[in-house]
Structure 1
Amino acid sequence: MTHQNLLVELFVEELPPKALKKLGDVFASQLCAQLRQLGLASSDSVSTPFASPRRLAAHITHVAAKAVDTAVQQKLMPVSVGLDANGLATPALLKKLQALGADVSDPVFAVAALRKAPDGKTEALFYDSLVTGATLDVGLQQALLAALAQLPIPKMMSYQLETDCELPGWSSVHFVRPAHGLLALHGSTVVPVKVLGLTSGKLTQGHRFEAHKSPVHVDHADDYAATLLRDGSVIASFEDRRFAIVQQLAQAAERLGPGFEVLMDDALLDEVTALVERPNVLTCQFEEQFLAVPQECLILTMKANQKYFPLVDTQGKLTNQFLVVSNISPLDASAVIGGNERVVRPRLSDAKFFYDQDRKKTLESRVAGLDKVVYHNKLGTQGERMARVCAIARALALQLGGEALAEKADQAARLAKTDLLTDMVGEFPELQGIMGGYYARHDGLDADIAEAIEDHYKPRFAGDALPRNPVGVAVALADKLETLVGMFGIGNLPTGDKDPFALRRHALGVIRMLVEKDLALDLQTLVGSAVPAFGDKITDARLALSDFVYDRLAGSLREQGYSALEVDAVLALRPQRLGDVPRRLAAVRAFTVLAEAPALAAANKRISNILKKADVTGAVDAHVSELLLQEPAEQALYAAMQGIAPRAQALFAVGDYTAALQTLAALRAPVDAFFDGVMVNAEALDLRLNRLGLLKTLHQAMNQVADLSRLAA
């Protein structure tokens, strides 16, 4: 069997840059997966994706020219059904064989080719055949069509191709961009396939302006990347091109001096990598007067609008130098540099104009304008929303710091949304909150209030910083709670992967602030404090919202490395102080390594089951009469609990959850002895209730930190 490496390339017009990397990865992985299913590629075959602005390609190792033939054994029917009394084929058998493609022109011969074998209690007829393996030209055609159908194309295009036949006409083709070339090589041999109106060959195109040869001739599948680089001036690999950009950016910053650092984020790097075929980094600059504008505005317009890489100094302050990744490498780059500097100037001028105009009005003067901005058709305007956030923020701040904090939180919440009415935020919505902080400082407001306005959206994403001061924490909590309670109250819940109001992110933000700031706020009280602010606009959905928050908390904890059993044991108790959860988890983890832990967890589960069955009517309470303790084992357990339970309770009360659980380990022996020597469900009612009361007392003592029964195997 001949095995060679395979190369398939689809040459197209410029692909959407934000989708390019995923398109390239999916194209290669799907093509390889399809070939594996056909037996043309093996589990050892390795697929390497290539993706540039004008091509999607895949290199797959160890691909066979023809898949091996496969022996197939198929059960047909019981012998009694397939053969008559004379051993001849019945109509049912002949029909089945005909459906399988067997030759039934001679029924006697057809029956002779079958195999009889026992199948359980009966004897059955089996048809053995040999399925011919697919050839590469047929298999690749099938695999290529399937791979193209699986591409995550953001938006399909339709275009016309002249039909390849004697009759004149046009045919419609649907793809992400018009395709102009197809390359398919098995080793050095062209694999004849057709897709999107194209026929495969050995030719492709290089760089639009700087290719040394046109077209580029690829002799062998393994020479693809090297040939494109040499003759076409194209770095075909997305990852190699990205790495080259990172290196060039770092070198350009180093040439400027030790005080420069490039702002490189992954999203911008991926997008720029998808825009160039052979990168060339150039250094540009703009007038220093623009540095008077908040640097977040300048950085955003350079990155989002122009795809430039800003440069900052060692203190993180923006400089007037920036880097451009060009797709051409002229001997004299001055024209390219000058062109980019001219293009960015109007963008920066707009930002400066917006900033200057916005500062002519105070944030306070914009408050009334919030009444004209619709927030949600069921929840009213941004002005109404602001009033609700103020009420919630004041209530939270009173609990966290008293009247002084409440006054500041109320003022910050009142002004927090006013920057939505500014020109700068209208142009760059990503700057909401940030610009509010700048304008608050310009208006002479307290630093605490300005920081709170800036921080009230935090955390905006996973790993983002939390609000810096108590005012910001109160307003940020209020803002997120208002959204959560309001949306749950009108039934606007996230479904599947759809979450238009980012309720999952808001819930995680609330969780992070409660946990990482260790706030003395109960979740139930927290959610309850937000409900009255809505009046009759919503229904009370506190229970559903609490469940939602605990679900998000459970997922977050598992992502942090806690086991499902640990998380389940702690959250089963629905702890109201979320700041306690990490300490409870640490205590559970320390408890599980004790030798007594498995036995106590199993006993706890047994107690839970006993109480669940016995306490249907609510007759069992945590009360024990010493006079009714007759068996030595129950007397010993009660005595042990009298000494151990108060110590565990005292440790629990001061928050030493680890020591509290470890103290309970001493109960293992008396608990084991109790179950070995005492009949809980005694016939005498008073004895039975007393023993159930003893177990309930034990259950309560053991499950203050976590539900230990959830740890049982």
Structure 2
Amino acid sequence: MNHAATQETQHPLLVELVTEELPPKALSKLGKAFADGITTGLAQQHLLAEGCTTTYFATPRRLAVTLSHVLKQAPDQPFAEKLMPVKIGLDENGQATAALKKKLDAKGWSHLQPENLHTESDGKQDYLYAKGTAQGAPLAQGLQKALEEAVANLPIPKVMRYQLADGETSVKFVRPAHQLVALLGADIVPVTLLGLEAGRTSSGHRFMGQQSIGIQSADTYETQLTEEGRIIPSFEVRRDTIRKQLETHANALGHTIGNDPETWALLDEVTALVEHPTVYTGQFDPAFLDVPAECLILTMRLNQKYFPLFDPASGKLTHQFLIVSNMEVADPSNIVEGNERVVRPRLADAQFFYDTDRKTSLASRVEGLASRVYHNKLGSQRERIERVRAIARHVAEKIGANTNDADRAALLAKADLNSNMVGEFPELQGIMGGYYAQADNEPAPVVNAITSQYQIRLESSVNTSNEAAVALFIAERAETLIGIWGIGLVPSGERDPYGLRRAALGLISAFEQLAAGEYLKPGQPNKLTITGLLEFARSTFRDTPVSENVVAEVGHFIYERYRNLLMSEFDRTVIDAVLELEPPLNEVHARIQACTAFAALPQAQSLASANKRIVNLLKKANANLQTVDPQLLEEPAEQALEKLIDELEPRAHQQFKDGDFRGNLMTLSGVRDAVDQFFNDVMVMAPDPALRDNRLALLGRLKQLMNQVADISRLAQ
């Protein structure tokens, strides 16, 4: 931004583009991108004065921005442009060559002579430079460029092409544009966009405000739209206005709008649908509350954009809801009654689907899944179910859970895909399955497993009440990873259509929560391991060959996802040291915490460097390490090191077995002096092969002992 501009040359700037209704879910993002693009474009051309602030506006029918301090013309700017090597630009007489003349002509500098150019060396050869002062761009020129670039770079979900009024010219934009306003202070800036010439005329609310509003100046824009147009142009102000009205109405009724992510997502959406929000209260027949609340909530939010109301004490859905209208009227009865009439058949449909679905048991729907394709290379949903059942039984057996419950939950898990309710609302998969399983008097663990199967991750420790749910959760994700990865559909960049990254994070959370519930214990061999799980999952694909390397590849993928997950919490070096060993998933957190404490010790760097040296020596040796022969330990330093290893080894092993990873590393930190002395006094690669191999064997034993918790060499800086 320019710091030398005077008050006389600075003015507020308004740019507004009035359009047909913009896509609501993209509106906020479009508004911010439009404002940021214009701000960036003007800043690059030095047209913004010091202290300039940007305010963005976005309504269903407009994108706009105001900038507080903008210059009529950018100050002159010094420039220096590298042209070409002197030996190419000048002949032996010092005159311009044809190549230099062509370059200068192209730049508009044909008036420059060789004596006007500057010579500088880059250390290898001399170059010709053109230096001077370029006249600053006038605002109209700079804004035109910024406006075109901002529109070209908008994150438009889907571009449409439409014809202009001349009947010949076509332009592309997210929606047809009708008016362009560009004012510097009170003066129109002569720019064009999408076939429109800038003026000062904007549009108000379709029914409540002036249809044509002459904006007096950039400073009066927001006030005029609010007072004359009956529009709240700021997305943020409008959103806050709606939120406050919703809370006021809910509190007056003794209810709440809830605090889940879907509530706030709906708030963003309705903010993008109205220009003058007014909240009213509606209600429906309480008899509909016999239908599962999720069905009613979804249809009200998804189809009608209503805010369901809940009892604050019990959290249960009530028969009242809030409507965000685009009209403020003295008597809203017609609006309320109209919305109540509209929602009634929606809720009746949900009730019909629910009542009809319950006439058919969930179990009897399973065979119908044979006609539902899961993937053309992996068979039907019915075939998939059999694989998931086998894996779920395997997991249940390994963690000591009821295998019958796990098997039953896996059998019924996808049966609701053939229900009317899920056919209408795919978002209710699993939720409806749980309701229908409960209606069929399935065991509580089975109902719980079906209901919770679509969680992104497990958030609470495993206990006897959710063992079957955990078995199903793990089984489905393991089957997905092995199957989809095994047929070559590996995530690439941002593309992950089968949710393999999410499945990997889900498995990680399951192992963490199994550890929290003490089903998996650190330092001890556990029946359930990630490698064993993936290998078993692969064995279930009997009729559908998957790639031979899929277990190793998916295993590495899971650890990479874990690495990314841990990056926000721990040091990258420590994470790499632990994950280099790909330890049991349930031990990763404890090992990282232990390694973090170890890395802070004064002796850590010395030991890490020594460990790295040991690793390099053992790599070079390529020897089949033998047992250490005490008789061949000639030097006092190697004898002392072996003695210390003998002393520390039992304690370190026991600490590791007990899951005391911090204690293990603290114990091994005591070898630093002995290791330093060893490398000072002992020639490892001795000429005598017997001595050399024995010393390498001693180092191999030390490496194995030191790297139980993590690859300590990765801590070396």
Instruction: Tell me the TM-score range normalised by the shorter chain.
Output: over 0.9
Counterpart-to-counterpart distance in 1, 2:654 and 2:165:
86
Task: Return the offset for 1:118.
Answer: 5.9
Q: Return the match for 2:643 from 624, 639, 642.
A: 639
CA contact (8 A) 2:247 2:256 kept: no
Q: Return the match for 1:682 from 682, 686, 705.
A: 686
RMSD: 2.1
Task: Return the offset for 1:619.
Answer: 2.2
1:476-519 Cα deviation digits (max 9, x unpaired): 11111111111112112222211111111111111111112225
Task: Return the offset for 1:258.
Answer: 6.1
Counterpart-to-counterpart distance in 2, 1:179 and 1:77:
46
| Cα distance change of structure 1 residues 99 and 155 upon mapping to structure 2, 3 Å threshold | closer
1:445 matched to 2:442: yes
Task: Return the offset for 1:121.
Answer: 7.1
Counterpart-to-counterpart distance in 1, 2:160 and 2:83:
48
| Cα distance change of structure 1 residues 640 and 218 upon mapping to structure 2, 3 Å threshold | same
Task: Return the offset for 1:110.
Answer: 2.2
TM alignment of 1:523-672, pairs within 5 A: 523-539=530-546, 540=548, 541-559=550-568, 561-575=569-583, 577-615=584-622, 618-621=623-626, 623-672=627-676
Q: Which amino acid aligns with 1:705?
A: V
Counterpart in the other structure of 1:287: 285
Helix, strand or coil at the partner of 1:644: helix
1:522 matched to 2:529: yes
Counterpart-to-counterpart distance in 2, 1:472 and 1:79:
76
Task: Return the offset for 1:261.
Answer: 4.9
Task: Return the offset for 1:266.
Answer: 2.4
Counterpart-to-counterpart distance in 1, 2:472 and 2:122:
73
CA contact (8 A) 1:38 1:67 kept: yes
Task: Return the offset for 1:464.
Answer: 9.8
Q: Which amino acid aligns with 1:290?
A: F
| Cα distance change of structure 1 residues 75 and 549 upon mapping to structure 2, 3 Å threshold | closer
Counterpart in the other structure of 1:160: 163
Counterpart-to-counterpart distance in 2, 1:454 and 1:350:
22
Task: Return the offset for 1:79.
Answer: 5.1
Counterpart-to-counterpart distance in 2, 1:38 and 1:124:
27
Helix, strand or coil at the partner of 2:78: strand
| Cα distance change of structure 1 residues 111 and 395 upon mapping to structure 2, 3 Å threshold | closer
Counterpart in the other structure of 2:411: 414
| Cα distance change of structure 1 residues 528 and 50 upon mapping to structure 2, 3 Å threshold | same
Task: Return the offset for 1:83.
Answer: 4.5
Q: Which amino acid aligns with 2:611?
A: N
Q: Which stretch has the larger CA shift, 361-370 or 320-329? A: 361-370
Counterpart-to-counterpart distance in 2, 1:707 and 1:215:
71
| Cα distance change of structure 1 residues 685 and 317 upon mapping to structure 2, 3 Å threshold | same
Helix, strand or coil at the partner of 2:540: helix
Q: Return the match for 2:700 from 693, 696, 700.
A: 696
Q: Which stretch has the larger CA shift, 539-548 or 122-131? A: 122-131
Counterpart-to-counterpart distance in 2, 1:453 and 1:339:
38
Q: Return the match for 1:19 from 8, 20, 26.
A: 26
Task: Return the offset for 1:60.
Answer: 2.2
Q: Return the match for 1:148 from 128, 132, 151.
A: 151
1:128 matched to 2:131: yes
Task: Return the offset for 1:61.
Answer: 3.2
Counterpart in the other structure of 2:74: 67
Helix, strand or coil at the partner of 1:158: strand
Q: Percent of pairs identical after alignment?
A: 49
Counterpart in the other structure of 1:340: 339
Q: Which amino acid aligns with 1:300?
A: L
1:557-582 Cα deviation digits (max 9, x unpaired): 124x122112111110011x211111
Counterpart in the other structure of 1:166: none
CA contact (8 A) 2:57 2:235 kept: yes
Counterpart-to-counterpart distance in 1, 2:290 and 2:692:
81
Task: Return the offset for 1:466.
Answer: 8.5
Helix, strand or coil at the partner of 1:680: coil
Task: Return the offset for 1:130.
Answer: 2.5
The alignment of Structure 1 onto Structure 2 pairs a total of residues equal to 695
Counterpart-to-counterpart distance in 2, 1:696 and 1:47:
64
Q: Which amino acid aligns with 1:703?
A: N
CA contact (8 A) 1:262 1:310 kept: no
Counterpart-to-counterpart distance in 2, 1:60 and 1:410:
63
Q: Which amino acid aligns with 1:659?
A: G
1:296-343 Cα deviation digits (max 9, x unpaired): 111111111111111111211111011111111100011111111111
Counterpart-to-counterpart distance in 2, 1:694 and 1:130:
72
Q: Which amino acid aligns with 1:9?
A: E
Please list every run of 5 or more consecutive structure 2 residues that lacks an aligned counterpart in the other structure.
521-527
1:572-595 Cα deviation digits (max 9, x unpaired): 0011x2111111111111112212
TM alignment of 1:174-213, pairs within 5 A: 174-211=172-209, 213=210
Helix, strand or coil at the partner of 2:269: helix
Task: Return the offset for 1:429.
Answer: 0.7
Task: Return the offset for 1:222.
Answer: 2.6
Task: Return the offset for 1:128.
Answer: 2.3
Counterpart-to-counterpart distance in 1, 2:512 and 2:609:
30
CA contact (8 A) 1:631 1:678 kept: yes
| Cα distance change of structure 1 residues 400 and 137 upon mapping to structure 2, 3 Å threshold | same
Q: Return the match for 1:31 from 38, 53, 57.
A: 38
Counterpart in the other structure of 2:398: 399
Helix, strand or coil at the partner of 2:366: helix
Counterpart-to-counterpart distance in 2, 1:238 and 1:397:
51
Counterpart in the other structure of 2:372: 373
1:296 matched to 2:294: yes
Counterpart-to-counterpart distance in 2, 1:514 and 1:116:
67
TM alignment of 1:230-379, pairs within 5 A: 230-257=227-254, 261=258, 265-313=263-311, 314-379=313-378
Counterpart-to-counterpart distance in 1, 2:359 and 2:84:
89
Task: Return the offset for 1:441.
Answer: 1.0
Q: So what's the TM-score if we normalise by structure 1?
A: 0.93
Counterpart-to-counterpart distance in 2, 1:465 and 1:38:
57
Task: Return the offset for 1:381.
Answer: 1.1
Helix, strand or coil at the partner of 2:338: helix
Q: Which amino acid aligns with 2:72?
A: A
TM alignment of 1:98-109, pairs within 5 A: 98-103=105-110
Q: Return the match for 2:431 from 430, 434, 442.
A: 434
Helix, strand or coil at the partner of 2:108: coil
Q: So what's the TM-score if we normalise by structure 2?
A: 0.93
Q: Which stretch has the larger CA shift, 119-128 or 188-197? A: 119-128
Task: Return the offset for 1:42.
Answer: 6.0
Counterpart-to-counterpart distance in 2, 1:655 and 1:125:
69
Task: Return the offset for 1:117.
Answer: 5.4
1:218-256 Cα deviation digits (max 9, x unpaired): 222232222211211111111111111111111111101
| Cα distance change of structure 1 residues 463 and 134 upon mapping to structure 2, 3 Å threshold | farther
Q: Which amino acid aligns with 1:636?
A: A
Q: Which amino acid aligns with 1:280?
A: T
Q: Which stretch has the larger CA shift, 688-697 or 461-470? A: 461-470
| Cα distance change of structure 1 residues 76 and 238 upon mapping to structure 2, 3 Å threshold | closer
Helix, strand or coil at the partner of 1:170: coil
Helix, strand or coil at the partner of 1:162: coil
Q: Which amino acid aligns with 2:227?
A: R
Please list every run of 5 or more consecutive structure 1 residues that lacks an aligned counterpart in the other structure.
164-168
Task: Return the offset for 1:409.
Answer: 0.9
